[in-house]
Amino acid sequence: MYSMHDGANISVHQEIAQRLNPKTCVEIGAYYGGITYKLCKLLPQSHFFAIQAYHDHKLNHMPDTPRGEYSVGSAEGSIDPDLKDKDWKRSVVRHFPKEYHDYFDFNLLVKTFQDTDNVSILLDTSPLKYDWKLGFDLAIFDVSPLFEENVKQFNYWCKYGNNSSHILMGAYTHQEEFYQYVDKRYKAEKIRDDYVLVCI
């Protein structure tokens, strides 16, 4: 199955999941579910929640459009300046089949998980407007290139982790800033160039 990180750094998520062996894992910002799919096969005894927003203004669309989020621009063309060099459209053109090269299609997200039985797809926008009652051992964030948005996400989810749980934040463009932010309160580790792993 397909991830925006195919061809780049998908192994980070696999390494961390194997190291921590979480019983319950939440991925916030699933897109077509590629990361969760790989992890749910790697850890068949674990349960996964793939959280994906459903409002149009939060969706990543492939056509060059003012609809959605980070959807203006084209692969290897001009992209949203907040993305810096993270050209997600280039990844999709290179690594996803043609059927994925259009407006976001929820059927394709569902299709990803049809041969699995340890994944729940949750269509909602994080932070959720209610308490997350199910806990988690690992939460993976792949939602935003913006520091402020990831801080907002972190401050919601850090309340709901199980004992010794972890948050793996995709802190694209602001790894050092995010590390400094959480390191004041929690034990944190920088992983490669883009990620911060926090023990909560």
Ligand X SMILES: C[S@@+](CC[C@H](N)C(=O)[O-])C[C@H]1O[C@@H](n2cnc3c(N)ncnc32)[C@H](O)[C@@H]1O
CB atoms within 10 A of CB 55: 11
From residue 35, alpha-carbon distances to 48, 149, 200 in Å are 11, 21, 22
- DSSP β-ladder status, 138-141 and 24-28: parallel
Among 12, 16, 26, 29, binds ligand X (CB under 6 A): 29
Closer by beta carbon to ligand X, 4 or else 168? 4
Smallest distance from ligand X to CB 163, Å: 25
Q: Per CB under 6 A, does 71 bind ligand X?
A: no
Helices (H), the chain: 10-20, 34-42, 88-95, 106-112, 147-157, 175-183
The region that residue 173 occupies, defined by phi over 0 for left and psi between -120 and 50 for alpha, beta otherwise, is left
Q: Per CB under 6 A, does 136 bind ligand X?
A: no
Kindly indicate which of the ranges 47-55, 111-119, 129-137, 173-181 contains the residues binding ligand X, using the contact rule CB under 6 A: 47-55
CB-based closest residue to ligand X: 29
Q: Per CB under 6 A, does 34 bind ligand X?
A: yes
Q: Per CB under 6 A, does 116 bind ligand X?
A: no
Among 143, 169, 182, 197, binds ligand X (CB under 6 A): 143
